Amino acid sequence: MDIVYIRELNIKTVIGIFDWERSIKQTVSLDLEMGTDIAKAAATDSINDTLDYKAVSKRLISFIEASEFQLVETMAERVTEIVREEFSVPWVRLRLSKPGAVRGAKDVGVVIERGEKV
């Protein structure tokens, strides 16, 4: 299995449990690894034969900007569901972070892996 990845996809959204967090937009950052087979795309040199990372990015930006989750855990689950179901990706590893959420830390967040590496 090959991996198509997206690094540091930064998106503004409402995220958090505190009242002040519910009234502002904060940045979340995604690092996404998506298991796929790139052999056909490499042979044909055609975007139609690969996982289109631009299409994935646009879909996730749209989804996250419109969301208002309280927890990064919930957001991470929904993001991996979208990638697996809508883009037919059998395996996903997602690092979702919330920069500046804890004083003294660059960021905090979760890393989840869903599906089977084939």
Give the residue numbers marked as catalytic. Answer: 98
Cα distances (Å, whole numbers) of residue 99 to 5, 29, 67, 73, 106 = 20, 7, 18, 15, 6
CB atoms within 10 A of CB 70: 14
Token digits of residue 37: 């087979």
